[in-house]
Chain A
């Protein structure tokens, strides 16, 4: 399946320029019916969308930077990711977080072959490519080729570990701290950590 590109205007502009698609109509209809039945309020919906907008990869980057600066936190993060991110105010809900650490000799990559499970609380909404047929099919079978497409070429002596998120766990890659950044502040370190490094398709660079 190729990634579907949306010819939509930016989401803050009113969507009055085009006829509504069938599924867009369905969304409106379902929402209005449920509000009329008092299942939730329009305000609940608005707040849920705002909460979603507030979730960006910056959350995950904070966790990574903290782990780089605080070895005890890092140990707790790896032992029990859910509890550790809870210390930073991140609530994993009914899923559990498993943090997998990139080390010399080991590089981790996350995929959900069956649907698109993703640690939204830490990274926000997943990118289209993560949900695509190409990524979901190939990441488990030829991870090195997929990584190379993202510009990440790993030597043979670095083992690749792919994690297929099939059940209730959600995964975050803890990238290796780039050389030459010892003593940096957490904010400065967090700025180095992008979404793709926490999925595992790239590594942070200076």
Chain B
């Protein structure tokens, strides 16, 4: 079956040329990917991230933004690798949400 991400050749509308400045959190997602995949750490491979993105349900894949897909994949890969646990991630996310603002 064609994966939902495997879209070469499918019909689509015009290319929307508008662009957005990358938010700091988005750049951090990118940086996270580079730091974790660096040869000195090798805590994840870009291929694992791609697999996790490709495994997203189609509606989620379409609805999520590029960096939302990547952070979701980074978190899933770290869980799969056992670098973090689901419990500690969940608790930390709740704590961050309760703080209500970005921490430096």
Contact = CB atoms under 8 A, between A and B. Distances in A.
Contacts of A33: 84, 88-89, 92
A3 B62 contact: no
Contact of A132 (B16, B25, B43, B72): B16
Contacts of A30: 32, 71, 74-75, 78, 84, 89
A134 B27 contact: no
**Which of B14, B64, B71, B78 is most buried by chain A, counting CB atoms within 10 A of its CB?**
B71
Interface in B54-100: 61-62, 64-68, 71-72, 74-75, 78, 83-84, 88-89, 92-93, 95-97, 100
Contacts of A132: 15-16
B93 A25 contact: yes
Contacts of A53: 27
A15 B93 contact: no
A31 B15 contact: no
Interface residues of B, number: 61
Interface string B9-46: 11111111111111111011111101110010101000
A5 B23 contact: no
Given A40-B35, A137-B10, A11 B67 contact: no
A190 to B, nearest CB: 21
Contact of A125 (B8, B22, B53, B68): B22
A133 interface: yes
A56 interface: no
Interface size class of A (residues with CB under 8 A): 35 or more
A64 B78 CA distance: 39
Nearest to A30: B75
Given A26-B71, A30-B74, A45 B15 contact: no
Contacts of B24: 11-12, 15, 49
B18 A49 contact: no
A26 B73 CA distance: 11
Nearest to B103: A28
Interface string A52-69: 110000000000000000
16 contacts: A1-B61, A12-B24, A20-B102, A29-B96, A30-B71, A30-B78, A33-B84, A39-B83, A49-B27, A49-B31, A113-B7, A128-B20, A133-B7, A134-B15, A149-B14, A150-B15
Given A20-B100, A29-B96, A125-B27, 8 more contacts: A23-B67, A32-B92, A32-B96, A33-B89, A39-B36, A39-B41, A49-B28, A149-B14
